[in-house]
Amino acid sequence: MIRCLLHVFIKIRDRFTKKKQKRDLFEKTTDWFWKHCFAATSKKAFAQNLRRFDEWAQNQEINEPVATAISKMRKQRENYSAAFDFPDAHRTSNMLDRLMRRLDRRLFSSQFLHGSLQAAQRYVRAWALIYNFAPSNPQTVKWHNGWQSPAERLNKFHYHECWLQNLLISSSLGGFRDPPQN
């Protein structure tokens, strides 16, 4: 499991109760977090910067909830530093959070899942298929060099110009010749 550093920052930010009164301390704390902990280039540097950040925070007049959040992050260093084992991995989960927020809104608007587990699985699968194959807005398409949907951007390929045809072919295993290996 790779823990998200953005959520730690949000926790620290939200626990600064008097941001206006302690503006400079808040800015120093966030600078420490982003410039030293998040920007670390290796596990060793991250661990060292995290230790120094915790020691720095203990010597400041930071309220107890903020100091606790920083100490807790230091204690869970292994979970946060796991991202360094995967150089291409993201250290924040904001891209995933955006996607899950969208699914959550969809489930909320349909009053969540009713009926059987199979019906719920079909509902979520249908949402995922539409999300992955429906064309994006024109600005996003332009930004991604003409690739219209998340599926096209991932595969750098499409079967047909019509997004619905791509969905039908992809979801029917059209063109897939071999059964999956166990």
**Residue 30: CB atoms within 10 Å:** 14
What is the pTM for the complete model shown? 0.63
Give 152: exposed, middle or buried? Use CB within 10 Å, 0-12, 13-18, 19+: buried
The pLDDT score that the predictor gives to residue 175 is: 52
The pLDDT score that the predictor gives to residue 182 is: 62
Is 114 found in the same domain as 69? no
What is the tally of structural domains in the chain?
A: 2
**Is residue 155 assigned to a domain?**
yes
Residues in Cβ contact with 86 at an 8 Å cutoff, skipping those fewer than 6 apart: 2
The pLDDT score that the predictor gives to residue 42 is: 92
Is 43 found in the same domain as 102? no
The pLDDT score that the predictor gives to residue 94 is: 82
| Run means of pLDDT, 10 residues per run, the chain, 182 residues | 84 80 86 92 94 93 90 92 85 83 89 84 90 94 94 92 90 63 64
Residues in Cβ contact with 91 at an 8 Å cutoff, skipping those fewer than 6 apart: 2, 4, 5, 38, 80, 83
Residue 156, domain extent: 95-171
The pLDDT score that the predictor gives to residue 180 is: 60
Is 134 found in the same domain as 73? no
Is 108 found in the same domain as 80? no
The pLDDT score that the predictor gives to residue 46 is: 94
